[in-house]
Amino acid sequence: MRALRFHGVKDLRVEDVPAPGEAGPDDVVLQTAWCGICGTDLHEYMAGPIFIPTTTDPFTGARAPQILGHEFSGKVLAVGRNVTSVKPGDRVAIQPLVAPPDVFYARRGMGQLSARLGMVGLNWPWGGFGEQAIVREANVAKLPDEVSDEQGAMIEPAAVVVHAVDKGKVQAGSTVLITGAGPIGALAALAASAAGATRIIVSETNPLRREKIRELGVVDDVVDPQAAGTQRRIAGQTEAGQGVDVAIECVGHAAALGSCIENVRKRGTIVQVGLSVGPGMVDISMLVTKDITLEGSWCYPLTLWPRTISLVASGKMPVERILSDRVGLDEAVGGGFDVLTRPGADKLKILVSASA
């Protein structure tokens, strides 16, 4: 079968690799449908290997060259004898995290925090940019007819922001600031809207992305954080000019976190979703004197798939609005990775099909 594999920095190759063999007792063999290119994949492409194992991963057995792709949908081809939740022919979305069952966090239902966490498409022998893949039964969730294969490939990043909105305690009538109008910021706006937020303001430095984010249809205002008077403009849209109830930081930069500290009201909540590439400085005193709650938000609980799928199926979270392009495996690098890493890119989500 054909697959896109990571060999090193700026070295992704479409290659022939052996197809999966028989399903083990707890395994599901899939034909992949669509797989999104994620910021994590771009980091591996530009500066990897970061999460990709260069020696054999003792838990998953994976090692570079690694098949990438962890945001995907597919169709079940075969199941092992212990598998009961899906059968051949079922359409599924893949929950890519695999936690060893024997560690502190996994025993407490928080396997996503395990230090030995495995992730399909990063440190697992299979990934979504291959024609077929093997995952465990716990990694597949059946898709209802209302959810397309394209939407199914966006359940994973959608779950990231549903968790962030949960951690921010966004509720009916909340005012929410989102910093960063990339794919995660755009999905966060959709999730905040689905959770009942009535005023959603997005802050973004890239003018092309500021234009794009308006097309989502759920954003009330889009601001340039570097423009004069931005803080006043945001405060003016909140109750008694006190600032937003919740800020969701999707950039991964200290300046963006700093703007969340400035724009959230006293006793408000900031959820940090974006991963930072380096340390930075924020106004700690303002964080303290405004009595702000600061939450980190990592991945999602492994049980979040049914809720996220129902948000998409009901139409309350139209994830397809962030879709910019669909390409085949041969165009994945030139029409996907290279497009998304170009400075000032205005594309949001690009989906790749290894099977098309």
Smallest separation, CB 229 to Zn ion (Å): 35
Residue closer to Zn ion by CB (options 287, 299) is 299
Tell me how far apart the alpha carbons of residues 171 and 179 are, in angstroms, rounded to a whole number: 19
Residue closer to Zn ion by CB (options 40, 238) is 40
Tell me how far apart the alpha carbons of residues 83 and 85 are, in angstroms, rounded to a whole number: 6
Residue closer to Zn ion by CB (options 23, 332) is 332
Smallest separation, CB 96 to Zn ion (Å): 8
Q: Locate tokens 């599924």: which residue?
A: 92
Residue closer to Zn ion by CB (options 35, 178) is 35
Candidate segments 36-44, 144-152, 185-193, 260-268, binder of Zn ion by CB under 5 A: 36-44
Candidate segments 1-9, 39-47, 174-182, 340-348, binder of Zn ion by CB under 5 A: 39-47
Residue closer to Zn ion by CB (options 32, 40) is 40
112 near Zn ion, judged by CB under 5 A: no
Sign, CA dihedral 46-300-201-168, equals negative
- Asked if residue 319 lies in contact with residue 158, where contact means CB atoms within 8 angstroms, the answer is yes
Residue closer to Zn ion by CB (options 38, 256) is 38
Q: Residue count at the site for Zn ion (CB under 5 A)?
A: 2
38 near Zn ion, judged by CB under 5 A: yes
Cα dihedral: 182, 50, 248, 139 (round 10): 90
* Structure token digits, residue 155: 């359940």
Q: How is 172-217 classified by DSSP, letter by letter?
A: TT-EEEEE--SHHHHHHHHHHHHTT-SEEEEE-S-HHHHHHHHTTS
30 near Zn ion, judged by CB under 5 A: no
Residue closer to Zn ion by CB (options 40, 297) is 40
* Structure token digits, residue 351: 């989906």
Smallest separation, CB 266 to Zn ion (Å): 34
Residue closer to Zn ion by CB (options 79, 191) is 191
- Asked if residue 13 lies in contact with residue 5, where contact means CB atoms within 8 angstroms, the answer is yes
354 near Zn ion, judged by CB under 5 A: no
Tell me how far apart the alpha carbons of residues 161 and 273 are, in angstroms, rounded to a whole number: 8
Residue of the chain from 40, 95, 193, 269 that contacts Zn ion (CB under 5 A) = 40
114 near Zn ion, judged by CB under 5 A: no
Candidate segments 25-33, 38-46, 74-82, 191-199, binder of Zn ion by CB under 5 A: 38-46
164 near Zn ion, judged by CB under 5 A: no
Smallest separation, CB 22 to Zn ion (Å): 29
- Asked if residue 216 lies in contact with residue 324, where contact means CB atoms within 8 angstroms, the answer is no
Packing angle of the helix pair 155-167, 305-313 (nearest 10 deg): 100
Residue closer to Zn ion by CB (options 40, 203) is 40
Give the burial class of 307: count Cβ atoms within 10 A of its Cβ; 0-12 exposed, 13-18 middle, 19 or more buried: middle
Candidate segments 35-43, 144-152, 233-241, 244-252, binder of Zn ion by CB under 5 A: 35-43
Q: Which residue is at the shortest CB distance from Zn ion?
A: 38
270 near Zn ion, judged by CB under 5 A: no
Smallest separation, CB 340 to Zn ion (Å): 12
Packing angle of the helix pair 183-194, 207-214 (nearest 10 deg): 30
Residue closer to Zn ion by CB (options 43, 321) is 43
Q: Degrees (nearest 5) of the Cα angle 188, 190, 194?
A: 115
Tell me how far apart the alpha carbons of residues 345 and 35 are, in angstroms, rounded to a whole number: 20
269 near Zn ion, judged by CB under 5 A: no
Nearest to 319 by CA among 339, 348, 343: 348
Candidate segments 10-18, 33-41, 43-51, 238-246, binder of Zn ion by CB under 5 A: 33-41
| Footprint on this chain of Zn ion (rule: CB under 5 A) | 38, 40
